[in-house]
């Protein structure tokens, strides 16, 4: 049976105050980003901005797809996923040790 070499112990560095605040700021930015994007995706398909879209004006097939309830539901569903991820990130955050 081969001998196992002595492996030195892992030295962990204690998190500095700057590292903790940096992690907190990054977490707040992440949470705000996902909640904002989620709210936009959840509500935008049901507003007049969605209906008065000049990008699809004149393209009958594209208009039918974009204005359909299915497409609106898919976009709103993505908004719910983003909202859920933002809330999850807020509750899951832990300060670095």
Tell if the pTM clears 0.85, that is, is over it. no
Q: Phi/psi of residue 59, each to 5°? A: -105, 95
DSSP state of 56: T
Q: Phi/psi of residue 11, each to 5°? A: -95, 120
User: Tokens 């492996």 correspond to what residue?
Assistant: 7
Structure tokens at 72: 């609106």
User: Do the beta carbons of residue 96 and residue 22 sit within 8 Å?
Assistant: no
Per-residue pLDDT tens listing for the chain (97 residues): 566 678 777 777 888 999 999 999 999 999 999 999 999 999 999 999 998 888 888 899 999 999 999 999 999 999 999 999 999 999 999 998 8
What residue spans define the domains of the chain?
30-92
């Amino acid at each position: 049976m081969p001998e196992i070499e002595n492996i030195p112990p892992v030295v962990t560095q204690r998190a500095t105050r700057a590292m903790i605040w940096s992690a907190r700021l990054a977490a707040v930015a992440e949470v705000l980003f996902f909640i904002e994007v989620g709210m936009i995706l959840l509500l935008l398909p049901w507003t007049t901005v969605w209906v008065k879209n000049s990008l699809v004006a004149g393209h009958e097939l594209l208009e039918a797809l974009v204005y359909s309830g299915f497409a609106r539901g898919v976009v709103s569903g993505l908004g719910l996923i983003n909202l859920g991820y933002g809330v999850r990130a807020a509750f899951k955050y832990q300060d670095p040790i």
